[in-house]
Amino acid sequence: MADPTLGRGRAAPVDVAILLPTLYGDRNVLHSGLLRALTDAGVRAAILPRECPRDAADAIPASVPCEPLQEPPRRRSDRGRSFLNGVIAEAFSRRHPEMSHALYRAWWRRHGSVTDPFRTTLLETLGRMAASDGILALLQRAAEAHYRRSWDLEPIRRRLRELAPRFLWSTTSTSRFELPYILAARDLGIPTLCSILGFDNLTTRSALPVFDRYLVWSDAMKRELRSLYPAVAEADVMVTGTPQFDFHRRPGCRWTREATLRHLGVPAGARYFLYAGGGESLMPAEPELVAELARRMAADDALRDSWLVMRLHPQDDGRRWESLVAPGSKIVLSPAVEPQPDDEAWKRTRPEEQDRLISSLLHAEACVNIASTITLDAAILDRPVIGIEFSGVASSPRELMYAAYGATHYRPIVVSGGLEIARDWDALLESMRLATTRPERLREARARMVREVCGTVDGQSTRRVVDAVVRILEEVGARSVSAASA
């Protein structure tokens, strides 16, 4: 296969430089066919991933330069910026009560050290004092100035001058690898575009960098974005859907039941439930819960013949689950991505891994999870979804973030009624039994959930994103001509 490298096929300038700091960007831009569709539409693009993917050459047209994202050289210590960002997070969450900052703050601080209470109290006090637009803006400028003093952005500015993109596209907005490029683009007067990656990014993070344009999943996400960032004009937020859900509508992504069982390691003809694991930081005790679920399924007349496919979180290497897979057990592990973590535990992804996600959901009796995004994937495929919420069960492991059901981003899923929440073992097993006999239950509620949270899921989001990019390029060009003639 060809090795995509900088300058392959042609030199800069380009129309758009696309930042790909995570495997989710690879999925949405490369594996979805978005990059190839852009070039087919005449858009000159360059991609900047963490590493130029040698196994994705088919997704990268020969005309597209690829170079790894650079980290700016350090000028001086970055000490103090973490505390300043903590004050900003507190102030932003108090300015916008819809933020879920306090909920997650309580989780991260549940095992606080002796010195934590003082720091926590100080952050909260300063956050209350800074919860006005003026002071918050001042703090954000101070944090940016601190970053610029600590890191030398000139090498990145120099690279952007060479590429000369008409705009810079952030596919994540929450990655530290994108921030220096966003700031450098601002210095050079290069317009910026942001795709809001996940439905939790707006309300579970601190204040995000401000961009010139945005692409969002749905009308609801657009309203949420403009509520949090009222200076963003309505015309600068474009509703396109997200390419990550286009796969669900593609027949080529769906394996047969026989092929799916073979890939998963489940015996031919068997039934199975898909349990979608959370990240270890939020669900450290999940293996204990799943082990107990398997034990109770084995003792249940209606469920004892069913298998449990344990789908790992993309950042989970699987080691904490290995003890569950023993001779005679009906548990199999299904990794989300290849086990090749880099320095931040991000992993490369391949197109067939999206096929495995869709096929393993499509043929499951139901998807079981704890406040996971995979609920949306299952609902799109019209599979029953069962959420575990055992905070009131004394014998349930405590180290599970059941509070995530109350997070702002997850509330519409709960309110839709498309997710059946089980609050004790009897309810969970009954919901699983019903999933095998009446999978059509809650179908309308699941469809309502998808419409509200995901927007239009018709397999055409990639096309709408391409159309939006072309439109932005036309407007950027028109503004440049207007400025030149003024």
Location of structure tokens 């100035």 = 145
pLDDT at 29: 95
pLDDT at 366: 98
| 227 pLDDT higher than 60 | yes
Query: pLDDT-derived band of residue 340, with 50, 70 and 90 as boundaries?
Result: low
Token output for 342: 């880099």
| DSSP-derived 3-state class of residue 334 | strand
Query: What's the whole-number mean pLDDT along residues 347-374?
Result: 92
Using a 10 angstrom Cβ sphere, with 0-12 exposed, 13-18 middle and 19 or more buried, the burial of residue 295 is exposed
Contact residues for 79 (Cβ-Cβ < 8 A; gap 6+): none
Closest CA to 217 of 380, 347, 359: 380
Measure the CA angle with vertex 178, ends 474 and 140; round to 5°. 95
| Phi and psi angles of residue 249, each rounded to the nearest 5 degrees, phi first | -100, 5
What pLDDT does 331 receive? Answer: 96
Please report the pLDDT score of residue 13 as a whole number. 87
What residues does each domain of the chain span? 16-73+152-244+459-485, 81-147, 247-454
- Judge whether residue 8 has pLDDT over 50: no
What's the CA gap between 261 and 248, in Å, rounded?
19
pLDDT tier at 377, thresholds 50, 70, 90: very high
What is the per-residue pLDDT across 135-167, written as a single tens digit (0 to 9) for each?
999 999 999 999 999 999 999 999 999 999 999
User: How far is Cα 194 from Cα 3, in angstroms, rounded to an integer?
Assistant: 28
DSSP 241: -
Per mean pLDDT, which range of 52-56, 146-150, 308-312, 428-432 is the poorest? 52-56
Res 350: pLDDT: 80
Q: Is the pLDDT of residue 344 over 70?
A: no
Mean pLDDT of 383-395: 96
Backbone phi, psi, residue 308, to 5°: -120, 110
Instruction: Express each pLDDT in 242-286 by its tens digit.
Output: 999 999 999 999 999 999 999 999 999 999 999 999 999 999 999
pLDDT reading at 480 higher than 70: no
pLDDT the model gives residue 348: 67
> Would you call 340 exposed, middle or buried from its count of C-beta atoms within 10 A (0-12, 13-18, 19+)?
exposed
Residues 19-31 have a mean pLDDT of: 91
User: How confident is the model at residue 477, as a pLDDT?
Assistant: 73
Q: What pLDDT score does 484 carry?
A: 44
What integer pLDDT is reported at residue 326 of this predicted model?
A: 85
Exposed/middle/buried for residue 11 (C-beta within 10 Å: 0-12, 13-18, 19+) = exposed
Which of these ranges, 101-115, 190-204, 246-260, 340-354, has the smallest mean pLDDT? 340-354
What confidence category does residue 111 fall into, taking pLDDT thresholds of 50, 70 and 90?
confident
Of 240-254, 260-274, 289-303, 307-321, minimum mean pLDDT range: 307-321
Would you state the structure tokens that stand for residue 123, as one six-digit string?
A: 């952050």
pLDDT at 342 over 60: no
Mean pLDDT of 411-438: 97
CATH topology of domain 16-73+152-244+459-485: Rossmann fold (3.40.50)
Topology given in CATH for the domain delimited by 247-454: Rossmann fold (3.40.50)
Say how far apart CA 320 and CA 335 lie, in whole Å: 13
Task: List pLDDT tens digits, range 391-405.
Answer: 999 989 989 999 999
pLDDT for the residue 485? 45
Mean pLDDT of 340-367: 79
Model confidence band, residue 482 (pLDDT cutoffs 50, 70, 90): very low
C-beta of residue 92 within 8 angstroms of C-beta of residue 207: yes
Query: Is there a common fold for 16-73+152-244+459-485 and 247-454?
Result: yes
